[in-house]
Structure 1
Amino acid sequence: MLSTKENLKQIEMDTIQQEPLLTELTPEAAATVEGGLLYRVVLKDPNSSLNVRSLPNITKSSKIIDSFKNGAIINASVGTTGGFRKLIGRAGWVAQRFTQRVLNTSAGFIKLT
């Protein structure tokens, strides 16, 4: 028979072993865990930058507040509003069509389809 301490340790191990790995989660579920997903800025012109806007649109009321260089890795929302992703951990929105989902691994960033 297991002691109370050993029993609690076994319960703890069982719980850890049943936790899903982040790689097993859907992007939506991973976003809930991580607060957002990683994306690479992908632009046709390698010397251009992606504008960060104050609002999720390109009207005059949406000011350009920053920019990212082509190839930059950003943390942004899974969902979109009007074709824009909300940045996580900083203010602003970026156009979804210029982002590509990536996964951070010990070997570097891997493109996800």
Structure 2
Amino acid sequence: MKLDDEVFELIRRRLKLPPDNTGLDSTIEMYMDEIKQRIINYTQQLAIPAGLKYTWSNMVIDLLKVRDFALPEVAALLGKDAVEVKIGDTSVKLGSTGSVAVETIVTSYAPELRRYRRMGWQG
């Protein structure tokens, strides 16, 4: 099974989505692609290392919590009175602008990502 498929299934299991509930699938895939690109840019790898499977899934779930907090599947994870999400030692207000939320998520997972970071050269 490809890593992308493993992460997708892991996210669905963590969200407790039944197999017949595919309403969030396109959103999950879109966020997976967005986070995947951020991880690749940060680590300067050509593909996401298998060791980042759980980190990748956690980052996508965090992005879902921030951007799509009103969806019933996501709201169930947060609780009805949630106003902000704590990611690592950083808090993000629900409904934050996309780039701010993604940057906050990436920096909060920097210690895990740093283990796979390669040296890059600019020329």
Normalization by structure 2: what TM-score? 0.21
Give the number of the structure whose residues are more often helix, by fraction: 2
Give the number of the structure whose residues are more often strand, by fraction: 1
Normalization by structure 1: what TM-score? 0.22
